[in-house]
Structure 1
Amino acid sequence: HHLQSSTVQYAARPDLPKLAYRKVKGKSPGVVFLPGFASNMGGKKAEALEEFCQSLGHSYLRFDYTGCGSSEGEMVDGTVGTWKRDVLYVLDELVEGPQILVGSSMGGWLMCLAAIARPERTAAMVGISTAADHFVTVFNTLPIEVRKEIEEKGQWVVPTKHNEEGSITFTTEFLKEAEQHCVLQSPIPVTCPVRLIHGMKDQDVPWHISMQLAERVLSNDVDVILRKHGQHRMAEKEDIKLIVYTIDDLIDKLTTLV
């Protein structure tokens, strides 16, 4: 039988751009998907997880950050703080009860920030190619003269294979703001189960970031799953199977505790 696909809804927020989201109602714990940087809720992983949650009868929500996909606002005005606020709005207003947060790339960083801010809402965390602190870390490892040049220009152009332009431009304001949200410098007050899936062939975000994150979270229930041939996107059939299996296992664990 074919399951009813979700429809795009818009959350009107006082004084803030409307957020586009898709939601499937179901049992607790729910699953919330946080896309990567400049990505949206229409990706392969986001779609596959909806189908999976529906078949299990668990609630599922995916959404677009401010300035991305179908949400209002401009991408260029977005900051890590803007998108963190989006995630908190979703957790506070659009879902009920405990959630399994699934964060892809930058979504994995935002997932950490949300888990710190809303521990009672966060039943478990699943990071996929987690990019915690990533833009900031990469910037800080550049040679000093390159950094000086970027600061004078006010922008940093980073090559990428993930968009038509072939590059992403970060302003120095964006980077300064992102620094306020770094999580890997100190212990992370997260005590829920954490699963971090990362490909060892990831050309964008090195897998050792997932290792650092695993060390930093206070939780004891932490697994890092490394795929030797995994790429950054983690959207191959086998990758998606692993993500689904991981979430299935967590749902099992969380519902048998009750």
Structure 2
Amino acid sequence: MSAAQYLMRLSLPRLAYHRISAQSPGVVYLSGFKSSMNGEKALALEDFCRSAGYSFVRFDYTGCGSSEGNSDDCMLRDWKNDVLTVLDNLTTGPQILVGSSMGGWLMLLASLARPERVAGMVGVATAADGFVSAFKQLPSELRLEAAKTGEYKMPSKYSASGFYMVKYNFIKEAEEHCVLQSSIDISCPVRLIHGMKDEVVPWQNSIKVAERLTSDDVDVILRRTGDHRMSQSDDIKLLITVVSDLLHKLTQKDLK
């Protein structure tokens, strides 16, 4: 694997990334919470884009993976701004955003901020409003304790300790970026893939996103055996197929 490149930013931590420069529409992969750009889905998409001749970018958010900074100091707005910085500085032409879990939330926020740059989106276990929804479902005594101590333990089987320590301020700031209370003004084609055995983000969340999008071109694809990560070989084949179909659709549209 080639060494990561770094995107320099004035007074901000550098972002690590890998990029293929080719034809557009390109693909930008947005990973999930506490994940890196070296996950199976990201690498599979990179291989596909390389062989199919499309541009591709995968990167690490501030404080994650190989990027500089401390993730514990970050708010959701910081990671949203990372996505916008990558779109603005590392891509040209229309892009398809592929977001996994929290990356699915960020792809919605990025599309709202840069509608002219986002030609399509593919969400995998899209966790729109996820941290906020999970926190609100906690018993009131746990919410009060989190407000008092400034943090709470978010259970996760993907953490070695069995939980992620999440700051209360992070949850409160994330409330400012919730999108499911009203319509989501996004008109590009959207594909939402979700595993029905997802124990982190219920598959119904993708249905909610689909219902609120203003786009007329929205598909929800449910995999009965899929878990949250959707990283089994058949899951990844499905993702590649969906992305490939969307690229073909957008390319054919441009030819008309």
When normalised by structure 1's length, the TM-score is 0.97
The answer as to 2:101 corresponding to 1:111 is no
CA distance in 2, matches of 1:61, 1:119: 18
Q: Which residue of 2 aligns with 1:82?
A: 78
SS in 2 for 1:180: helix
Unaligned stretches of 5+ residues in structure 1: none
CA distance in 2, matches of 1:64, 1:149: 32
Q: Which residue of 1 aligns with 2:26?
A: 30
CA distance in 2, matches of 1:17, 1:99: 24
The one-character-per-residue Cα deviations of 1:148-189 (angstroms, maximum 9, x if unpaired) are: 122112111012111222210111111111111111111111
The answer as to 2:138 corresponding to 1:138 is no
SS in 1 for 2:177: coil
Alignment length (residue pairs): 254
Q: Which residue of 2 aligns with 1:187?
A: 183
CA distance in 2, matches of 1:56, 1:166: 39
Q: Which residue of 2 aligns with 1:64?
A: 60
CA distance in 1, matches of 2:154, 2:253: 45
Q: Which has the higher mean CA deviation after the structures are superposed, 151-160 or 66-75?
A: 151-160
Query: Do the aligned partners of 1:7 and 1:23 also contact (CA within 8 Å) in 2?
Result: no
CA distance in 2, matches of 1:148, 1:19: 35
CA distance in 1, matches of 2:2, 2:129: 32
CA distance in 1, matches of 2:182, 2:163: 31
Q: 1:1-258 alignment to 2 at 5 Å?
A: 7-258=3-254
CA distance in 2, matches of 1:255, 1:182: 32
CA distance in 1, matches of 2:137, 2:173: 18
The one-character-per-residue Cα deviations of 1:41-88 (angstroms, maximum 9, x if unpaired) are: 000000000000001000000000000000000010111100000000
- Alpha-carbon deviation of 1:7? 3.9
CA distance in 1, matches of 2:154, 2:134: 10
AA matched with 1:65 = Y
Unaligned stretches of 5+ residues in structure 2: none
AA matched with 1:256 = Q
SS in 2 for 1:132: coil
When normalised by structure 2's length, the TM-score is 0.97
The one-character-per-residue Cα deviations of 1:8-41 (angstroms, maximum 9, x if unpaired) are: 1000100110000000111110000000000000
CA distance in 1, matches of 2:2, 2:42: 12
- Alpha-carbon deviation of 1:146? 2.1
